[in-house]
Amino acid sequence: MITRTEQASARKRAAEMLKRAGIVARQEELERIEVADFGLGELDESGVQILTLVDTDEIAAKVLVLFPHQTEPEHRHPPLGDYLGKEETIRCQWGELYLYVPGAPTPEPVASPPAHRKNTYTVWHEHILHPGEQLTFPPNTPHWFQGGPEGAVVWTFSTKAVDIEDIFTDPDIRRKTVVVDG
Amino acid sequence: MITRTEQASARKRAAEMLKRAGIVARQEELERIEVADFGLGELDESGVQILTLVDTDEIAAKVLVLFPHQTEPEHRHPPLGDYLGKEETIRCQWGELYLYVPGAPTPEPVASPPAHRKNTYTVWHEHILHPGEQLTFPPNTPHWFQGGPEGAVVWTFSTKAVDIEDIFTDPDIRRKTVVVDG
């Protein structure tokens, strides 16, 4: 869980990074940036800030803000009934993103996930995305990523997003963020 | 048709507008910006420049550049077999876009399509999009749009794009641009 103060502070920091990155958004969009701690209460280590621009029954376009070295933990977008699951393209707009997917493990990966959770990271094929670089992967692909030393602002273009159904490798994770007074 | 010189010039102009608008793209993406004249040979009046960032079997994310008062003619994205047709969200990044869709005709619309083609414009419900503003419409919706006095840079986020199958109201239009030496 996070406190309202932490949520407001992360939103403000994310909005500043979005502006610096050239992302154009209305004030009411910035005010509903989702601050996700994945239920771990370690936002600066495991978390992401999400600006949702498009979210229909068919597609989603969102911008993710990663603070320096902040990690979005390993997860996949599973099939749901007739829906094959979310196909996703991640494209870097600003900063540097370390993205990991299935494939030959990269011998000396640049990113280190939070040390006490390292056993919940199972895919280690590294892609380093600089501004303008992107990767598309099919539904149900396990993946995780981390912001570089200055953080990262990245687009995610995808088929329908059903975030609450995402499956995380770490059993401690709860996708829905609980925000408490404070 | 357009000449290679016109194509190169429009690409360069579009790339400059994209940069000013904060769009981040690689050089090889900018070099394949599509310059579409819709077969009319009146690019500054009827045309659009298209930077394709994502184009999979499921979704597309593109950035459209409209020069000042340049018009993308009225068209719709029809159903194709099992596919319902392209659902589209148009979002303004820079400049001003005048967008027309079905609905009560706006009494004094801001945009004027090319005068000699005005009879091929049938929908007149106006939305004026400023940076950060957007409109989503379902497949098969007739629509057309025009850049404002300084032009416009706009995102289009959609389900699968099959541009060549778009249906234009103007029977003179050929979607595939022919580029000739010169």
State how far the alpha carbon of B61 is from the alpha carbons of A128, A156, A158, B7, B134, in Å.
21, 10, 9, 22, 14
Over residues A30-48, mean pLDDT: 97
Provide the pLDDT for residue B175.
Answer: 92
Sorting pLDDT into bands at 50, 70 and 90, what band is A22?
A: very high
0.95 cut: is pTM over it? yes
Provide the pLDDT for residue B143.
Answer: 98
Task: Name the residue of chain B whose CA is nearest to A137's CA.
Answer: B56
- The answer to whether A61 contacts B131, with C-beta atoms less than 8 Å apart, is no
Helix intervals (H) in B21-112: 27-31
For residues A74 and A90, give the distance between their C-alpha atoms in angstroms, rounded to a whole number: 15
- The answer to whether A25 contacts B132, with C-beta atoms less than 8 Å apart, is yes
Mutation for A interface: B19, B24, B27, most A CBs within 10 A:
B24
**Cβ contacts (< 8 Å) between B156 and chain A: which residues?**
none
Residues of B near A (CB-CB distance < 8 A)?
A: 21-26, 29, 53-54, 56, 58-59, 61, 87, 89, 91-94, 131-134, 136, 155, 157-159
Residues A6-15 have pLDDT tens digits of: 999 999 999 9
Query: Interface pTM (ipTM) of the complex?
Result: 0.96
For residues A106 and B133, give the distance between their C-alpha atoms in angstroms, rounded to a whole number: 42
- Amino acid making up residue B21: A
For residues B129 and B146, give the distance between their C-alpha atoms in angstroms, rounded to a whole number: 11
Q: Name the percent of chain B lying above pLDDT 70.
A: 100
Mutation for B interface: A56, A58, A92, A158, most B CBs within 10 A:
A58
Task: Name the residue of chain A whose CA is nearest to B29's CA.
Answer: A132
SS3 assignment for B103-140: CCCCCCCCCCCCHHHHHHCCCCEEEEECCCCEEEECCC
For residues A140 and B101, give the distance between their C-alpha atoms in angstroms, rounded to a whole number: 37
Residues A98-107 have pLDDT tens digits of: 999 999 999 9
Tell me the pLDDT of chain B averaged across its residues.
97
Residues A124-162 have pLDDT tens digits of: 999 999 999 999 999 999 999 999 999 999 999 999 999
Mutation for B interface: A54, A86, A88, most B CBs within 10 A:
A54
Q: Would you state the structure tokens that stand for residue A90, as one six-digit string?
A: 């991640």
3-state secondary structure of A124: coil
For residue B59, give the nearest of A21, A92, A157 by CB distance: A157
**Cβ contacts (< 8 Å) between B58 and chain A: which residues?**
87, 159
Tell me which residue of B97, B94, B51, B162 sits closest to A91, measured CA to CA: B51
3-state secondary structure of A148: strand
**Cβ contacts (< 8 Å) between A53 and chain B: which residues?**
91, 134, 157
Over residues B147-168, mean pLDDT: 97
Provide the pLDDT for residue B60.
Answer: 98
